[in-house]
Amino acid sequence: MNNTFIDVEKPATCNKITISDCTFYSAFGKDKYLVNAKDMVPAPTIEVYRSIFAASKEVRGIQAKGVNNEEAYNFNTCYMASDYTFTINTDTGKPKNPIFGNNVSSSTNIMKYCKEGRYTVTDATIEAGDPRWMEPADD
């Protein structure tokens, strides 16, 4: 994909953006956004549930008016692999508009065959991502 996942080009009626049960592997290019809603007034509520973010470098996260801190949007049961990084604001030394989640090991440690385009989650502590890639529990 190497672009922005959701890019709202013109102001529209949209009160909420919800992203759920997704696996993002190498999905964003440098300085691109998960959500770009910069022209929406008021900014929509942005909710992300049960998703995995892995193998993208220097991502910008979310851009929306007034959205620049953790309290402005909701991330619930989300995971960021160690090979997922953010563009750093040179003035503050902090990530620009980050995505929030539980930090986990690199994508190659938490998923099987991810470099081949198969993203089976092998880390039993991760309860997120596209359900097609969840490894079945042993019965």
Instruction: Tell how strand 6-7 and strand 79-81 pair up.
Output: unpaired
On whether the CB atoms of residues 53 and 79 are closer than 8 A, the answer is yes
Q: pLDDT per residue over 66-84, tens digit each?
A: 555 455 678 899 999 999 8
Q: Per the structure block, which two tokens stand in for 25?
A: 């592997």
More confident residue, 139 or 81: 81
pLDDT, residue 92, reads 76
Q: pLDDT per residue over 99-118, tens digit each?
A: 778 899 999 999 988 889 88
- Give, in order, the Cα–Cα distances in Å from 18 to each of 7, 34, 44, 46, 115: 13, 12, 10, 6, 27
Residue 2 in this model has a pLDDT that exceeds 60: no
Q: Per the structure block, which two tokens stand in for 138?
A: 């042993």
> To the nearest whole number, what is the mean pLDDT of the chain?
82
